Structure 1
């Protein structure tokens, strides 16, 4: 079907309107982050970032978030690949029930389980540790990762696994040599989403570290906001600092991320 020039123009107008609507808050935060702090003259104040970094102590909180994110992303990715492979390509008794249990993990909100988890981890002496922050998020991420990669592996042609079996490849080799490389966009998409959710997690990090020794980036920003409620320029600079790692990761992996999302929609 041929699209008229008027329809094409209207499509671009609608897309530009939605882009402006989405970018307006981001541009506002960026503009505020370089604006003049209270009591100073106008102009471009790039020193707001250095001041926010020093005053807010974001170096330590960003480091804690990086450690937690590395634990969650690595464990969730490896375990999700294994569970997605088993549920997506193998037939065994109880597979459907097991898959529904994973789906249940996606449906139960963290707010409903965080208090019982806190008492369990306190009994084990794990509160105020990286494990207390990371393990609940690993469980949540595996539920999504299994759902995501099960669909990906089920959509792969069965002839690939049959050819690998004829060549003498076992299940592990077929997974690592054939399915994982072919599913790279879907895996990268899951990795970016898990990293984003882990980096932005507030409640679990707040409850599981009552001593405040392992304050993550969102907690550091919340504390900074409580101390400098009237310093909007510094608060905006701190928000940009906290969001920057996620933005950088997305920019590096955006091609695989978009391709994985499009493949997921197609399926």
Structure 2
């Protein structure tokens, strides 16, 4: 009993410390963004006259309305296709016995070891040869490919955990592979799909490197990628830079807060088993 109490106390202390480590940077950004433009705030101090207009100035100066639209288009181009391809491939690796399937899966998983920084140079020349530089397709198409290893691994983990008897029963009733996928397994994969969709959305929305390397025009980048141009313009104005950073992070925070229950439910239902 004493050990369990001690473990519970240590767990709570660690959770509080982790919460502080996570929340304090956001609080610092928020407080700094409220200081007068052009000043250099020192420490975590609440300003005497909070400048709420800094958020409006940052929104208009960075043309965040156009950036919001551009990020939405990129997300709509990446997430649905990555979900479809990742789910179909995950089903194939998890439920269908294929010759050489394990080798192919291991080769695919090796893609998780490839850092974006290591392939950005060949990606640049490839997009240039395709004539896609400085377009949103230069971000959408590489992201779909780069997200495939994790998407397939995530969905395969779910399909592997589904009993084989379910597929065998459906096959006896005359269901083909396509019907087995869409009518039987896809509905059961909703928790895994929803959690994967959240992750893909967050990663796409916050994509920075591909956006600044492959696209020159800020209004065709993601909001995180456009932060580089905003920083170049307002790099010496710390309050405005903090206000712009908070505005860029706000959509991802809202999405995660809204769908956090679905994300946690997917983890608890075994979407990452196998």
Does residue 247 of structure 2 align to residue 241 of structure 1? yes
User: Aligned ranges for residues 110-259 of structure 1 at < 5 Å?
Assistant: 110-210=116-216, 214-259=220-265
2:55/2:247 contact within 8 Å kept = yes
Contact 1:68 1:134 in 2 (8 A): yes
CA deviation after TM superposition for structure 1 residue 197, in Å: 1.3
Is the partner of 2:175 in helix, strand or coil? coil
Return the offset for 1:3.
6.3
1:37-57 deviations in Å (ceiling 9; x for gaps): 337x83333222111000111
1:82 shift after superposition: 0.5
Task: Specify whether residues 134 and 265 from structure 1 end up closer, same or farther in structure 2 by C-alpha distance, changes over 3 A only.
Answer: closer
* 1:26 matched residue in structure 2: 26
Taking a change above 3 Å as real, the CA distance of residues 23 and 219 of structure 1, as seen in their structure-2 partners, is same
Select which of 94, 97, 101 maps to 1:95: 101
Q: Distance in 2 between matches of 1:101 and 1:4?
A: 44
Which deviates further from its counterpart, 249-258 or 176-185? 176-185
Equivalence for 2:114: 108
Ranges in structure 2 where 5+ consecutive residues have no aligned partner: 40-46
Given that 1:128 and 1:213 are in contact with CA atoms closer than 8 Å, whether structure 2 keeps it comes out as no
Q: Does 1:58 align with 2:73?
A: no
Deviation, structure 1 residue 204: 1.2
Q: What is the TM-score normalised by the length of structure 1?
A: 0.90
The 1-side partners of 2:83 and 2:272 are apart by: 21
Structure 1 counterpart of 2:13:
13
Query: Matched residues in 2 for 1:14 and 1:157: separation?
Result: 38
Distance (Å, rounded) in 1 between the aligned partners of 2:273 and 2:141: 32
**Structure 1: 5+ residue stretches without partners:** none
1:202-227 deviations in Å (ceiling 9; x for gaps): 22112222455623212321211122
CA RMSD of aligned residues (A): 2.2
> Which residue pairs with 1:38 in the alignment?
38
Shift of 1:81: 0.5
Q: Please, what TM-score do these two structures have when normalized by structure 2?
A: 0.88
Count of aligned pairs: 266
